[in-house]
Amino acid sequence: MILSRFASRHFCVEGEASHRMKSTAHGQEKILDPQVCRSDFNGSELYEDYEDGASLKGAKKSGELDYSPQGLLISSMALEAFEKPGQKLREITSKMMWLVVRALLLLLLIIKLYMKLSSRRCRCRGRLDGKTALVTGGTHGIGKATVAELARRGARVLIACQDFCSGRKVAEEIKRETGNSEVFALHCDLSSLESVRTCAETILRTEKHLHLLINNAAVAIPRDERVLTGDGLEQHMAVNHFGHFLLTHLLLELLKKSQPSRIVNVSSLAHLFGKIEFDNLNSERKYHRYRIYGDTKLANALFTMELSRRLKGTGVTANCCHPGGTVTKVARNVVNFDPLFWVGRFFLKSSVEGAQTTVHLCLSEKLENVSGKYFIECREAWMSSRAKDPAVAKKLWERSEYLVGLAN
């Protein structure tokens, strides 16, 4: 048995019980009882006392190998004393790590299961034959799923999209999938007030009725700098709020003519983090890419509340909804960190699941006279006090009219 140089430095083992052995030194039997003593690491000498008062002859200096039975015993005991606790600690740590990993995996599965069970689908069986619907942002994500479902129910669906070529491809795709030939694309760049006006003029010229207006389109730009449109509006506010505000206003008479009709504004739970500051409506003073998205979603909610108030008694209702965390380009840009987004996909809804509340608001007979409400998972939900402030909603309406050129 060869012991390491470190082990041969004569560490004495501490303990209450005596460690006994038989020694044949000088031909006599001795019972050894090493008392507590140790050598430092600087080479000081080590002595050990025994029960008979004799001292170990030829005590070794620190650093020298001691192959005597006594030295081997002490060294092996020292190794055991120092190695076993470390080994046990490693075993305990390894077991704890596995327990933590298993607990985390179990927690993730429970969360996923809860989200699946709590996610509600539209149970309405109604048809939309003879109805006309307009969906903004209908070329991908929740908008595309909404268009497909409305077409499947027999509606004539107009897709208002920024990229007209993509819009035509999606329209043809949905026609093939649903067997409904009444799906068309219209160019409408919500970041351009002129484009919005042109789209509205086209609809007013070609459509006799408009029963459903779904303001679904939204952007989340992963940039740290403020971007302005050609109209001098901040990009997020222009697409998510001002564009829809102008489009809705221009189509109101057609909606009233077609009553009963419905307006659905797709807001978000992100409205809880938004704040309307009228001296910073277009990020004139400060800009934060995460905060601005919440501001636009709060604007959607406030717009819905004021619109509902102004449409009272016209046969046109206005409600807004939170689609839930959904795998979309907007969600990806809001996160703006691909690894986190790809992990988060495990918990997010599909586009079809995310469209269920929007479809419910379009179809449910129970909601025919319901207006000015906020929905999550096909049910009316709590709304933040900021989103229900009538004074702020009215002022935002007036300010929006001025910025989009509707007020003198």
For the chain, the residue count is 408
Q: Angle formed by the axes of helices 141-152 and 356-363, to 10°?
A: 40
Whole-angstrom Cα distance, residue 310 to residue 313? Answer: 9
Structure tokens given for 201: 């003029």
Burial 181-213 (b: 16+ CB within 10 A, else e): eebebbbbbbbbbebbbebbeebeeeeeebbbb
Task: From residue 245, give the alpha-carbon distance in Å to each of 3, 7, 296, 300, 304.
Answer: 84, 82, 12, 9, 10
Rama region for 377: left / alpha / beta (φ>0; ψ in -120 to 50; rest): left
Token duo for residue 373 = 């409400």
Integer-rounded Cα Rg, in Å, for the chain is 38
| Catalytic status, residue 290 | no
**Do the Cβ atoms of 58 and 35 come closer than 8 Å?**
no
Choose, from 114, 290, 293, 402, the residue flagged as catalytic.
Answer: 293
Q: Report the side by side order of strands in the sheet with 316-322.
A: 183-187, 156-161, 132-136, 212-215, 261-266, 316-322, 374-376, 379-380
Nearest Cα residue to 177 out of 211, 212, 150, 213:
150
Active site residues: 293
